[in-house]
Amino acid sequence: MSKIAFLFPGQGSQYIGMGKDLYEREEASKRIFDEADETLETKLSSLIFEGDAEELTLTYNAQPALLTTSIAVLEKFKESSITPDFTAGHSLGEYSALVAAGAMTFKDAVYTVRKRGEFMNEAVPAGEGAMAAILGMDAESLKKVTDQVTENGHLVQLANLNCPGQIVISGTAKGVELASEEAKNNGAKRAIPLEVSGPFHSELMKPAAQKLEEVLSACELKNAAVPVISNVSADVMTEKDDIKKKLIEQLYSPVRFEETINKLIDEGVTTFVEIGPGKVLSGLVKKVNRRLKTIAVSDHETIELAIQTLKEENQDA
């Protein structure tokens, strides 16, 4: 029988109106949005459903908004008999994966990611950090470029190893600028500056990581009931102490998403269900291995179709 992994998207997949149909049609999903409003003492749901897109994009809003919407989608799967063999997420999405695996309560997770967003936003003054997507270059070659720029006094490092030929770099604004130019000089097809508020997944996030540790220490983390693949190690994590350690390290370490997918393939996963807004992760999975089955679910219609498809496949198996 083939194995299933639930994948959860990260920052950048948010959009106004996400999850609204679930809020209006599904009582369990509505409770998730209401719990987020109550926990954060703000009308996050109103911002998500009908707010300003620029405000939603702010790190400390986007992170709890995406987590909330992803878990609202997940609630529909809980009503079915479909459970994942593994979970994983991209950066912020790792918190959704941990909620799905029973390692964190939704209440703790939504509070933590709000604080995480605030800490990330505060860590580096606006304009001093940057990120860029480098296309058409392998990780080893790009790391030589970033190491050289860093040695010359401008910090920059690999941040997101998403799929073959797509790697995001992060660091000081000057470091990212220099590394982008040098990458193109060494064969990269393109270097695309990203519209982000800070140099995420770089050493510059260590002040945020220190603050995050205090918040996580107040959370009631549990051992995961379902194996979760860590962004930091691209390996299984289930023990609560290891989970806490990895979440702190994740803020300033690369997201090893390509390796995560390859690990899941090695574990026998053939079906990847992206739970939450957008289809970014489904696209990355296909770039790692086009033969893999991907299903993206974000609203009532796509969830119902996915559940039906997965149940039929399970019966056939």
Catalytically active residues are 91, 201
| Residues ≥6 apart with Cβ < 8 Å to 62 | 11, 12, 14, 56, 117
Compute the CA torsion angle 267, 270, 276, 279 (nearest 10 deg): 120
- Cα first-last separation, the chain: 6
Residues 142, 254: Cα–Cα separation, whole Å = 13
Q: For residue 34, what are its two tokens?
A: 């209401």
Give buried/exposed letters for 237-269 (b at 16+ CB in 10 A, else e): beebebbbbbbbebbbbbbbbbbbbebbbeeeb
Encoded amino acid at 154, one letter: H
Name the 3-class secondary structure at 132: strand
Q: Are 9 and 93 in contact (CB under 8 A)?
A: yes
